[in-house]
């Protein structure tokens, strides 16, 4: 792995990998957590509008065709803490990937008519998320679990702000955030001219890195329950707990807990709730550790009449972790190792991981992850359960 910072402040991380393909991914270090109240949803909106035309490629079709005519693919996503654009092509078309990404990230048109059209698309996306319980349960969890941290605000933003968004406001957000010091590019593949190609195409200057203000999230003193109703048959249940950001050593312990409880069809939660009792179809766990926040959740899709039964089973499985067996601990670590290394065989996943760890602290920590997992002991698991799993936020989305 190699890291280079260009004179304009742009960071490049290169991982040589023998493959026919090359992945180029650009991370802008801005997400919904960085948005003041009057700009909620603009980071996500940028993800949409930047594919809609540049001076060189005036339409969405012109942009997509540039990649697709050489057999490549591209996409983008927005999280609480970053916005990423990635392209995968054959390595002989590496220059095409860099050229297109540089173009959309430096020369967007922000055409007035297209902007109005894309606002409608984003508003429909917000409605879709709110209508779909398997997505909305996570929106509701963050809103209930966190009191002050901006991760409590949905990444998709605020409908009124999107509706009233002007071209001028969109351009101002873009000019302030899409600057070299706020960008990191990861390249995974077997290409030689990566540094010169990026330097030739990414010509932006100035700007500064987006920073989050210091936030003191209050500790939770009691269990919280939030219910919502939808025109649905199933009931969606989530138990969530505030935990720690990725840089905290306990984040690795939480990943091992996730491996014990939630791995595939052999995790303890799946076994107890679905395999033994048939109380759910979809059931699992989530361990989330981002740069500035973290949470752990247990979730299940069940019949309304079984909410209390399933909740008690979830709590029982968490309690049982205080006396975890050597066998269960070893199997969880082996699962995480296999899952992690197999995922990194995918060049796009590796490019994404390099950016995640660089945002968190240092891209080289990607290679240290499994060492930190292997250090976790049964005593660590007991300590973490006793520290972070005292009070939950319970989300229930049920039929009207």
Residues 161-180 have pLDDT tens digits of 999 999 999 999 999 999 99
Ordered DSSP codes for 138-179: HHHHHHHH-SSSGGGS-TT--HHHHHT--HHHHHHHHHHHSS
With tokens 């429909």, the residue in question is 124
* 133 vs 228: CA distance, rounded Å: 9
Q: List Cα–Cα distances, 60 to 24, 42, 112, 174, 205, in angstroms.
A: 19, 19, 14, 18, 26
Provide the CATH topology of domain 2-201: Cytochrome Bc1 Complex; Chain A, domain 1 (3.30.830)
384 token code pair: 């973490």
Which residues are CB-contacts of 124 (< 8 A; sequence separation ≥ 6)?
none
Fold equal for 2-201 and 224-399: yes
Cβ 118 vs Cβ 49: under 8 Å: yes
Q: What is the pLDDT of residue 205?
A: 86
Per-residue confidence (pLDDT) for residue 122, from 0 to 100: 98
What residue spans define the domains of the chain? 2-201, 224-399
- Give the pLDDT confidence of 181-198 residue by residue, as tens digits: 999 999 999 999 999 999
- Specify the range with the lowest mean pLDDT, choosing from 11-20, 24-33, 212-221, 287-296: 212-221
Average pLDDT for the chain: 97
User: To 10 degrees, what angle do helices 326-343 and 250-262 make?
Assistant: 100
How far is residue 58's CA from residue 51's CA, in Å, rounded to a whole number?
10
Q: 32 burial class (0-12, 13-18, 19+ CB within 10 angstroms)?
A: buried
Position 213 scores a pLDDT of 78
Half-sphere exposure of 268 (CA within 13 A, CB side): 23
The CA angle 13-14-19, to the nearest 5 degrees, is 145
Residue from 106, 295, 108 nearest 205 by CA: 106
Q: How confident is the model at residue 212 (pLDDT cuts 50, 70, 90)?
A: confident
Q: Is 60 helix (H, G, I), strand (E, B) or coil?
A: helix
CATH: 3.30.830.10, 1.20.1630.10, 3.30.420.10, 3.30.70.600. Which one for 224-399?
3.30.830.10
pLDDT of residue 188: 99
Query: What is the C-alpha to C-alpha distance for residues 303 and 235, in angstroms, rounded to an integer?
Result: 6
User: Comparing C-alpha atoms, which of 389, 98, 396, 104 is closest to residue 235?
Assistant: 396
Percentage of the chain lying above the pLDDT 90 cut: 96
pLDDT on residue 210:
86
The DSSP line for 225-256 is EEEEEES-SSEEEEEEEE---TTSTHHHHHHH
Tens of pLDDT, residue by residue over 1-14, are 999 999 999 999 99
Measure the CA–CA gap between 216 and 49, rounded to whole angstroms. Answer: 34
Output DSSP code: residue 212: P
Residue 150 is encoded by which pair of tokens?
């901006």
Rg (CA), the chain: 22
For the segment 227-242, the average pLDDT, to the nearest whole number, is 97
Q: What is the pLDDT of residue 163?
A: 98
pLDDT given for residue 296 in this prediction:
99
Output the pLDDT for position 360.
Answer: 96
355, 186 in Cβ contact below 8 A? yes
């Amino acid at each position: 792995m190699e890291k280079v910072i260009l004179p304009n402040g742009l960071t490049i991380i290169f991982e040589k990998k023998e493959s026919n393909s090359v992945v180029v991914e650009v991370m802008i270090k801005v997400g919904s957590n960085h948005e003041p109240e009057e700009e909620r949803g603009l980071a996500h909106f940028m993800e949409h509008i930047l594919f809609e035309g540049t001076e060189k490629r005036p339409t969405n079709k012109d942009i997509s065709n540039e990649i697709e005519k050489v057999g490549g693919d591209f996409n983008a996503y927005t999280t609480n803490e970053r916005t990423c654009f990635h392209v995968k092509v054959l390595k002989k078309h590496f220059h095409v990937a860099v050229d297109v990404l540089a173009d959309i990230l430096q020369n967007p048109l922000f055409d007035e008519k297209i902007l109005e059209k894309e606002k409608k698309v984003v508003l429909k996306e917000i409605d879709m998320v709110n209508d779909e319980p398997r997505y909305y349960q996570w929106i509701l969890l963050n809103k209930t679990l966190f009191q002050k941290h901006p991760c409590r605000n949905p990444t998709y933003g605020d409908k009124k702000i999107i509706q009233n968004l002007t071209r001028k406001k969109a351009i101002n957000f873009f000019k302030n955030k899409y600057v070299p010091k706020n960008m990191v590019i990861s390249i995974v593949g077997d290409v030689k001219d990566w540094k010169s190609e990026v330097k030739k195409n990414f010509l932006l200057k100035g700007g500064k890195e987006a920073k989050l203000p210091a936030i003191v999230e209050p500790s939770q003193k009691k269990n919280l329950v939030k219910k919502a109703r939808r025109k649905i048959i199933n009931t969606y249940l989530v138990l969530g707990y505030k935990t720690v950001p990725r840089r905290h050593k306990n984040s690795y312990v939480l990943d091992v807990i996730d491996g014990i409880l939630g791995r595939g069809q052999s995790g303890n939660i799946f076994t107890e709730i679905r395999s033994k009792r048939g109380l759910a179809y979809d059931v699992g766990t989530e361990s989330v550790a981002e740069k500035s926040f973290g949470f752990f959740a247990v979730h299940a899709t069940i019949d309304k009449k079984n909410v209390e039964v399933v909740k008690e089973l979830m709590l029982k499985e968490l309690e049982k972790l205080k006396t975890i067996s050597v066998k269960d601990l070893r199997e969880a670590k082996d699962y995480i190792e296999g899952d992690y290394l197999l995922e990194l065989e995918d060049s796009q996943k590796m490019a994404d991981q390099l950016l995640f760890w660089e945002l968190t602290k240092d891209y080289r920590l990607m290679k240290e992850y499994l060492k930190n997992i292997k250090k976790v002991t049964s005593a660590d698991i007991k300590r973490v359960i006793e520290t972070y799993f005292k009070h939950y936020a319970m989300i229930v989305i049920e039929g009207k």
